[in-house]
Amino acid sequence: VTFRYTSLKAPSCTGTLLKTRTPSARVHHAMVLIHCKGKAEDQQFLYETSVEMPVSQLVKDMVDVHNMRLRIQRLKVEGDDLAQYGPCKPPDKQGLDEDIQAEADGISQPPRGATYCKDPNGKRNGNAPIAQVQAMMRKALADAAMAASKKQVEFKKALTKKDLAEHVDVIRGAVMIAYPMGLPEWDPVRMDIEGDEKPSNTPLGIDILDSTAQIWWAGKQMLPGNKLGDHVGRNEKTKIVAKLQKKGGGAPQREAPISPEEHKAMMAYYHKRQEEMKALETNNEDDYTNSSWANSKSLKNHFSGVGNVSIGGAGGRGG
């Protein structure tokens, strides 16, 4: 038997460059997944990192994500009002009704635009943008709020400062389209878009953290001089639940062993059971003797394989 080998030549192409592309699969490297929780229920998110990450840098990165989430939450509230009622009035005129003030001063109000919408709280001047721009602003705000929502924990999606900053840039662009002349410097939307978060004792700044924040896991503080692996081990596939809080706050309070939903379900079951026991205590009838559990021969019938037996159509207990 003789085997003949023939060489196959690739077809030549004149003036044409052929390129073959191999589909590139996205390689997901194993990372430590941190479920970060704050003081409030909605202050939680997922963050991915490596065991080689220094704790000091980890705290800084997680603080940036935490503060960016708070910024987006504030933008969502103030941005919706901006889209509906326009920019903020000067601080000394907020809360005043222009119509009542003009009537008291005996002057007439200047003509208002077609998109004017009076703010019932008197905080904004009512000069809202057109409907199409309002819809664009609300969509940008809703997308950003969803990206920063605690629902991302249920979706098992980790957050990064870069992704959240991109949503803030989209909001900035929408605001610039709606108000090309710019917003006044006292408008909260402008301050949240341009300013950096700084902790303060105000309601808006009390939850903001800085680089001195601490991260706690398993009842112990992660020391800034260590790496993450010194605390959680060398396995990159580790998932932990950590808490981020201000310096000097001490160890965070341990979580309840059951969730609020489970607690409500347990209380509802206990209340229902208590009502049933009260009904049994007030029942003086002997109708319970017809129940299967009141049959003194139920154990014998169970092992003998005899259940409820009716003879001649007469219903009666088996015996």
Between 8-12, 148-152, 213-217, 287-291, the lowest mean confidence (pLDDT) is in: 8-12
- The whole-number pLDDT of residue 198 equals 65
- The whole-number pLDDT of residue 254 equals 72
How many helices (H) and strands (E) are present in the chain, helices listed first? 9, 5
Distance separating alpha carbons of residues 228 and 50, to the nearest angstrom: 7
- In 3D, which of 84, 38, 12, 90 has the Cα closest to residue 208? 38
Q: Above 80 in pLDDT, residue 193?
A: yes
CA distance readout (Å), 301 to 290, 315, 319: 16, 16, 7
Distance separating alpha carbons of residues 88 and 76, to the nearest angstrom: 15
Distance separating alpha carbons of residues 192 and 145, to the nearest angstrom: 14
- Residue type present at position 135: A
The rounded Cα 152 to chain-centroid distance in angstroms is 5
Distance separating alpha carbons of residues 183 and 190, to the nearest angstrom: 6
Which helix (H) or strand (E) segment holds residue 186: the answer is none
CA distance readout (Å), 125 to 95, 122, 193: 10, 7, 20
Distance separating alpha carbons of residues 82 and 97, to the nearest angstrom: 18
Kindly state the tokens that stand for 122: 């008197």
CA distance readout (Å), 251 to 33, 97, 220: 21, 49, 7
Contacts of 263 (CB under 8 A, 6+ apart): 256
- Answer whether 0.85 is exceeded by the pTM: no
- The whole-number pLDDT of residue 279 equals 80
Residue 200: pLDDT band (50, 70, 90) is low
- Residue type present at position 110: P
Distance separating alpha carbons of residues 63 and 114, to the nearest angstrom: 44
Which residue do the tokens 């602003």 mark? 137
- The whole-number pLDDT of residue 91 equals 87
Q: Above 70 in pLDDT, residue 246?
A: yes
Segment 63-117, tens digit of pLDDT:
999 999 999 999 999 999 999 999 998 888 887 777 777 677 677 777 777 888 8
44 has which bridge partners?
37
* DSSP 8-state class, residue 217: E
Residue 29: pLDDT band (50, 70, 90) is low
Q: Above 90 in pLDDT, residue 316?
A: no
Contacts of 158 (CB under 8 A, 6+ apart): 33, 45, 46, 47, 48
Segment 256-284, tens digit of pLDDT:
677 788 888 899 999 998 888 888 777 76
- Give me the chain's average pLDDT, please: 80
- The whole-number pLDDT of residue 46 equals 93
- Residue type present at position 37: K
Residue 13: pLDDT band (50, 70, 90) is very low
- Determine the average pLDDT of the residues in 221-236: 90
